[in-house]
Amino acid sequence: MNDHNIKKLRNKIWLSLWVSFFAITVFALTTVYLSQATFHRQNFQNARRNIGRLEVEEMLDGDVFQPGVFVIESTLSGQLISIQGDTTFDLDQANEIRDLTRAQASSRIRDRFLWRVPTPFITFDETYWFFTAIDGHEIDRMINQEVIDEVMDEVVNEVDADDRNPLNFPIYDRVIYHLFWDATFVQHAIEETRFNFAVAGVIAFALLGGVFYVVANLVVKPIEFAFERQKQFIADASHELKTPLTMINNNLSVLRLDEEATIASQKQWLDNVQFGFDRMRHLTTDLLTLAKLESQPRQDNVLAFDFSQASHWVVHSMKSLADVKDIDLSHEIQPDVYVKQDAEKIMQVMTILIDNAIKYAGVGGWVDLQVKRKRHFVTYTIANGGSGIPSEKLPYIFERFYTVDEARNSEHKSYGLGLAIAKVIIEQAGGTIEANSTLNERTTLCFSLKVAES
């Protein structure tokens, strides 16, 4: 994975988060808006279903109307009778309103046929009105003279001319009540809600874009960090392997110059080859150890072991190295401390820390080891004299291939992997490891583990 792929991954995560949460936000806002709109409209729909002819006739007879409510009274044949209620509309306007209701009724039928939501109101004079039509009582409608004449011409031989009174020819019609509620404030509230939610959606779209861009960067950052560490690891490993390989190659080239020379005469060059080989073996062993530790999960089926006794064993095994450099290796180990961990790995950490302390204590220096139990934890502390570690370099000493002093590490055949291995082992064991140093005085490394309860 290169930098371009990491950037593409970040953009994909960002876009996925943005689209997903924006869709959720829009869905939530739309749901709230539709619920409010439905609530307002449902109130009018309930009123339409519950009101009946008698209630309308009582309103007309008693002239008691609620604010924003009026009734257009007309016949089924289309003749306007009256307009009453909370309105300033005249009969001409009432006729226009009634025509709008008829057109709206037709459009509702069409909308339902086309699976569309019908519009629940009409618009007139820049106002919105919910409406319903209620059948009234039957009435006698007077037939005009032209109709009477046509009828009389057909029945002239059967009906006496004196009986041409229109009242003798009643044709029944029906009253229709068109009841209207002023829904302007409701519609304005719905439109305002829609506008506010649209603005909220746009703001959320912009804000979420910025927020999720930051989130995407945070998500990708560990991947990018791991990728950079991998690149650095490969570069460092290649560099460390290149040095002994070059040494071996150069010394072999010298050996080839004198093919008749004896092994004894070429011992210097052979020793150099062996030295390079040993460095490569040591490096590859540490690399394999580190790779295995990082790939293996923590083992829970381990047994408790005597941490104090293991500390004594490691100290005694390392004493010869201290004696060679005339180093005073002292120790104070609290007895009978047990931990439930992998004994071999924990002893490997002890060995790494003591070896590291002996290397950098200097000839004639000192190393001090202390093992103490503090309540539920045991602390293993190793300190040594010497030049110490600068404070700005201290946070990096547990990283792979990190070396405080290249020249000094080359002298001690160090590759900067020992402390990295120790850190992985302790952290997998659920413990902590840390270091502190005072220049030209002392350097202290310690780790803590939870003790095994007896």
Q: Tens of pLDDT along 112-143?
A: 554 444 556 788 877 888 788 887 765 554 44
Q: pTM of the prediction?
A: 0.51
Instruction: Output the pLDDT for position 128.
Output: 83
Q: Does residue 448 register a pLDDT over 80? A: yes
Q: Does residue 51 register a pLDDT over 90? A: no
Mean pLDDT value of segment 391-409: 73
pLDDT in tens, 244-271: 788 788 888 888 887 777 777 788 888 8
Instruction: Output the pLDDT for position 417.
Output: 81
Instruction: Output the pLDDT for position 378.
Output: 95
* 57-71, 198-212, 354-368: range with lowest mean pLDDT: 57-71
Of the pLDDT bands very low, low, confident and very high (cuts 50, 70, 90), residue 308 is very high
Domains of the chain in start order, with CATH, are: 10-142+171-199 (no CATH), 300-450 (3.30.565.10)
Of the pLDDT bands very low, low, confident and very high (cuts 50, 70, 90), residue 71 is confident
Q: Does residue 359 register a pLDDT over 70? A: yes
Percent of the chain with pLDDT over 90: 16
Query: Measuring CA to CA, which residue among 7, 52, 285 is closest to residue 177?
Result: 52
Instruction: Output the pLDDT for position 413.
Output: 54
Q: Does residue 146 register a pLDDT over 50? A: no
pLDDT in tens, 150-191: 544 544 444 444 444 444 445 567 788 888 878 787 777 777
Instruction: Output the pLDDT for position 161.
Output: 46
CB burial readout 40-63, b (16+ within 10 A) else e: bbeebeeebeeeeeeebbebbeee
Of the pLDDT bands very low, low, confident and very high (cuts 50, 70, 90), residue 27 is confident
The residue ranking higher by pLDDT, 340 or 231, is 340
